[in-house]
Every structure is written in structure tokens, then in C-alpha cells.
Amino acid sequence: MTDRRNPGQGPRVPSGAPRGSRSGDGRPPTRSGRVLTAASTDRRFTWMRSAFVVIMVIALVKLLWVQTIGGTELAARAESQRQVHQVLPATRGAIVDVHGDPIAFTREARDLSIQPLVEQRNAEARRELDRTKPTWDQLVDEIGDEFESVLGEKVDREEIEAKLTSQGGFTYLVRNVDVTQANAITRKFPMIGAERVDIREYPGGALAANVVGATSKSDDGKLIGLQGIEASFNDELDGEDGRQTFDRAQDDTVIPGTLRNVSAPRDGDTIRLTLDADLQWHVQKAVQSAKDSSGAQSASAVVLDARTGEVRAMANDNTFNPAVGIGAELERGADLGNPAITSPFEPGSVQKIITAAAAIEAGLTDPGEVHSVDGSISMEGVTVSDAWQHGPTPYTTTGIFGKSSNVGTLMLAQRVGKEPYSEYLEKFGLGQRSGIELAGESDGLVPDLQNWQGGTFANLPIGQGLSMTTLQMAGIYQTIANDGVRVPPRIVAERVDPDGETHASERPEGERVVSEQTARTVRDMFRSVVQSGPGAQAGTGPQAAVAGYQISGKTGTAQQIDPSCACYSNSRYWITFSGILPADDPRYVISIMLDAPQRGTLGASAAPLFHDIASWLVNRDNIPPSAPAADLILQAQ
């Protein structure tokens, strides 16, 4: 029953009720027994309101920061997460021969890859959503079919399927796939990734490898020249990469309309060499054959255009194939250098043409002058002998060089004199680099005039006591072939940029060394070297002769240093030959060096190699035969 004195309230609590069930003023006590007063309640609400206000202030400050100061940073961060800066690789330029035939070029290819475990899970998920979708095993079989169909024998199907069913992560399926073939595969199977790679191709294999050089790949896959033209012209061949920016969605697709900041790549320039690829191939083959058949330690040959000094062929034995890979070729023992320009040697009697030119130019002799030449001569405190024993012999000036008489050459050198002779060595380009566009060229060695002592002047005119490269040796004969004007050799004809504009290489000015008449006289005199006939009138190199053509040249035999005694060896020689084809209308200069051949006739073993190269050239170029010329008198009666 309700107490009417307390309407709306429950029954009154008896005075004996348990303590804590209700306070004396009718308010319920707290758990701790303390009564919640109005003041404490107000304080609680005040604290809650304050906390709410603080939270709101913080939220407003954060919102203000996001919309003002921090907004830019957050937007940039978000943009950076979806923004892609893509490099558009430039294609490395080609290296071609004088006719434009490629010696080195870049082929674009694709490396095909996949993440097997991820794609397997994706395939299973698609299968759950759509029962018509193929299982992963079915996809593996289809991918195998496609690779086999498109690439044929280039791939091992079992290997491809093993990679697809592996539990590993990212893996390459096939490398260096043709772009068209790669596109056919990725269009059908988008889960297969295609990564661009540049492949440097050398269609001729080892053709001109010592000149052209090779490339390697940097960490980012960019081709870099290692040596030769590839290194010397790396910047020009390299080109400039392009750039573009776009936004990428979460599924790695390009967001339409976001492509911007596009800068197209500029492909590398084409370098056109002066080399003739067909001639280069023949000379390389001939040089290797001569080295092998003679047992020489090494061999090299240079062919120059007689008028321009341009290098038409430059070959060394034991060359390398850049297409195989530098590491493998080094293990094989291949020579990656270019000894024709880097390795000087003592030339021997090919040097005698300088004495002949100096004496004729100064009017100190003429081709028909007869000299009484002894078997030996004392000069500068040393005694020098001819290669064969003989008493006083009536050699003509022509015969001195046709017979390669050391004694007769030194007799003429004495007429020329030390200082003029020293000047001619410099004029003919000895003791200095030619400036050819290849790294590592040697200066050779010519003693300074002030340092000539003892037997120096008794050695230099006969090709001992100084050194030169095969290229420098060819330069001497190019001067005589070019009517007395020396043109420093060059091996780069021009650069062609991607727009087709040509940039011709700088051509050094020719330097007149001797008069035109002197050069022609010397060319005619040195026909005696390849002359055959009765012993007294035969030269030292008839094996170099080419039927129907006048050939002017010189054999050389230079003793090497024996390290055991620091003296000249009697068993090891540099064998050389330099010649002009044809002598009456020069087209080519051919110079050859054999290092310490073990078989063949000393002094003549390089002549057959000249004959081989010269014969090939007259047939290939259809060079008109020379006019008949009378035999020369080497020894007077």
C-alpha cells in the first residue's frame, strides 16, 4: 500500500532497515558508501564537457592543418604513392663499316617473368567466383602450349612448366625474347611480365673486334662500352634516355588522362668507320693463318687507303668474339687489346725507305749510282755487317735497298747526316702518336738527337734502336704512296645522328715530307725488292709480287733483345713487310708484323702474307693491271 503522505513514492523504510540501503535524505548511496551530491555530479559533467571541448578543438585544429598547412604535404604523399616516373630508354647507336654494313647494333628484346605462387592463388580465387575459369594446372598447360608454339626449340617446355608450378616468388621464364614473340605471349597471358632488355649484336662475331671493342651492362641494365670504338665513342653511341610521368591505380594500370611530362628518348648516333668489312674479314683470317703456319708469337696487319690514310683493315691474331662475352673469351686466352696500335717493335729494314727518301730528296744520290759496298762498315764505334758475307760489290742505290744492304744504307745515311736524318724520322711520324680515334695508342720510341751516342746512328737507319707500331710503319709507306704527303691515319669516317644528319670526323692536314718527284722515284726504286730473276738482280721479297702489277715494298728483319744477356738475340726476330699496291698508281698500303716466327725464311716470311692480301684486293676491286715496267739494275756488271 502506498503512503498517502508521500505520493509517488514506495513504502517507507523502517527505522531498523539495514544501513546503506538508502540515505537519510532519500538518495541512494554510492558503492563506497558516499552519497552523490549535486556538486559532485556537476563537477563530473563539467569535466566531460571540458574533455569534449578539448577533443573538438584538437579535431578542428587537425582539420585546419589538413586543409591548410599539412594538406599540401599529404596530397604530395598521396600523389607520390600513385605517381610513376618512367624512364624511356634510348637505343644504343650502331657501328657500321665504310659501306654502311653493320658491325655492331642494338636489338630490343624482352625478359618474360611471373610470380608463380601469386598467380596460382589468383587463378584459384577466380575459379571460386566463376566455375568456368580454368584451374592453375590448366593454365600451366596452356602457357606451355603457347611458349612451345611461339618460341619453338628456343625453350624447354618442361623447364617452363617447372617454373610455373614452383612455390617460389618472382622468376624469369625466358630471357632475350624477340619483341613480337613476347607481345604475342603477353597478350594472351597478361599475368606474364615483359621487361625490356637491350641486346648488343655483333653479326660478324670477331670481325674487327679489336677495333670495335665490346660492351657490358650496368646494374640498371644499360649498355656501357668497354674498349675500342664502343668505349671511345660511348657518349655518342649511348644517346639520351627519355622520361614520362603517369598515375597508377591499385591494380597497377595507368589511370587514363594522367600521362604528362613526356620527354622522348634520343637514340644514340651511328658511327661509320673507315673499315671495309669484307677486307677486314679476309685480313683477319690471313693474319691468323700466317701466325699459325709460321709459329710466331703474334701477328698484326694494317691496310691503309694510300691517298687518304684511312684504315681499311686492322687485324691481330687471337682476337675475341664480343658476342660470346668478355669473361668467356678471357678464360680462353683471347687478346682483348689492339696490338697493331699498342705494341711497338723494332722494324728492321722496312725503316730503310726513310734513308732512301732523305738521300734522294737532298740530291745526294740517284737510283742508278753505283757504290762499292763492302761486307761490313765501322761507324760510330761499332761494326755493322750485311746479312750475308761478301766482298766489295758494285750495288746501285736501287740495289742497296733491293738487296737490303745494311752497309750500303749506312753509307747513304752518313751522307744525309745525323741532324737531317733525325728530322726525317719526326716528319715521317715516328716517336709520336698518330691521333687515331682509338685508346691506348703507343708513341713508339725514337731516341732524342742529343741522346744519340755510341752506335745509335749506326742502328737507326737499319731499323734497330727505335720502335714503332704496325700502324706507324704503314704511315711511313702511305707518305711515299701519297706522293710525299703524310696524312695521319683515321678510322672514323663520320657520325650520323638519329635525324640522319651527318657529322664528318675532323681530317688533319696533310704534311709534305718529300717532294712528289722524290716519292715517285723511291716507289720505283723499291720495286726492286719484289723483283725476281738471276740471283744478282733478285730482291729480298719476290714472294710479295702479284702477277701483272707493279709492287713497291720492303722486307724487314730485326733482332729481338735476349733478356738473359741484355743483348740482341741471334734466334728471335721481328719479321716485317710494308708495301704499296700498285706502285704506279697507289691504292693501298699494306704493312705486316710477325713476332718471332719459328718456321719460314727469315726476312721473307711476311712477304707471302702481303701477296695474299694484295691478290685478294686486286680481284675484289678489279684494279687495272699496271703498265709493263723494265727490270731494275741492282748490281752493276
Q: Residue 37: is its pLDDT beyond 80? A: no
The cell numbers describing 18, all together, are: 539495514
Do residues 357 and 243 both lie within one domain? no
pLDDT tens for 592-604 read 999 999 866 555 5
Do residues 229 and 292 both lie within one domain? no
Q: What is the CATH number of the domain that holds 308?
A: 3.40.710.10
Domain presence at residue 14: no
The answer to whether residues 96 and 102 touch, using CB atoms and an 8 Å cutoff, is yes
Domain presence at residue 128: no
CA distances for 192 relative to 139, 140, 147, angstroms: 12, 12, 11
DSSP code of 467?
A: B
Last residue of a domain, one of 238, 256, 273: 273
* Residue 103 to residue 237: CA distance in whole angstroms: 14
142 phi-psi bin (left φ>0, alpha ψ -120 to 50, beta other): alpha
Do residues 98 and 217 both lie within one domain? yes
The answer to whether residues 619 and 381 touch, using CB atoms and an 8 Å cutoff, is no
Q: What is the CATH number of the domain that holds 95?
A: 3.90.1310.10
pLDDT tens for 296-334 read 999 999 999 999 999 999 999 999 999 888 888 888 888
Burial of 68 (0-12, 13-18, 19+ CB in 10 A): exposed
- HSE toward the beta carbon, residue 244, CA cutoff 13 A: 13
Range of lowest pLDDT (353-362, 375-384, 558-567): 558-567
CA distances for 481 relative to 341, 487, 515, 552, 579, angstroms: 21, 11, 12, 9, 9
With bands split at pLDDT 50, 70 and 90, how would you rate the model's confidence at 17?
very low
pLDDT tens for 495-518 read 999 999 999 988 888 999 999 999
pLDDT tens for 203-215 read 999 999 999 999 9
Q: What is the mean pLDDT of residues 112-122?
A: 89
With bands split at pLDDT 50, 70 and 90, how would you rate the model's confidence at 80?
low
Query: Mean pLDDT across the chain, nearest whole number?
Result: 89
The cell numbers describing 611, all together, are: 701477296
pLDDT tens for 129-165 read 888 888 988 999 999 999 999 999 888 999 999 999 9
Tell which residue, 435, 458, 436, 456, has the closest CA to residue 446: 456
Do residues 215 and 290 both lie within one domain? no
Domain presence at residue 211: yes
| Residue range of the domain that includes 525 | 277-320+340-493+509-620
The answer to whether residues 357 and 401 touch, using CB atoms and an 8 Å cutoff, is no
| Model confidence, pTM | 0.83
Tell which residue, 213, 214, 201, 269, has the closest CA to residue 238: 269
Do residues 98 and 241 both lie within one domain? yes
* Residue 463 to residue 348: CA distance in whole angstroms: 4
Do residues 295 and 222 both lie within one domain? no
DSSP code of 313?
A: E
Do residues 461 and 554 both lie within one domain? yes
Q: What is the pLDDT of residue 65?
A: 67
Q: What is the pLDDT of residue 84?
A: 79
Domain presence at residue 120: no
Domain presence at residue 115: no
Do residues 253 and 353 both lie within one domain? no
Residue with C-alpha cell 670477331?
A: 206
Structural domain total, the chain: 2
* Residue 239 to residue 263: CA distance in whole angstroms: 13
Question: Could you tell me which residues come within 8 angstroms of residue 568 by beta carbon, excluding any fewer than 6 positions away?
Answer: 464, 559, 560, 561, 562
* Residue 96 to residue 103: CA distance in whole angstroms: 5
Q: 70 or 115, which is more confident?
A: 115
Question: Could you tell me which residues come within 8 angstroms of residue 485 by beta carbon, excluding any fewer than 6 positions away?
Answer: 479, 510, 511, 512, 513
In the chain, the percentage of residues whose pLDDT exceeds 70 is 90
Q: What is the pLDDT of residue 328?
A: 83
* Residue 424 to residue 418: CA distance in whole angstroms: 10
Domain presence at residue 630: no
Do residues 244 and 316 both lie within one domain? no
Question: Could you tell me which residues come within 8 angstroms of residue 240 by beta carbon, excluding any fewer than 6 positions away?
Answer: 90, 265, 266
pLDDT tens for 531-569 read 998 889 999 999 999 999 999 999 999 999 888 887 888
Do residues 290 and 366 both lie within one domain? yes
Amino acid symbol at 335? D
Q: 41 or 555, which is more confident?
A: 555
Domain presence at residue 333: no
* Residue 529 to residue 543: CA distance in whole angstroms: 10
Do residues 437 and 365 both lie within one domain? yes
Catalytic residue IDs: 349
Do residues 213 and 309 both lie within one domain? no
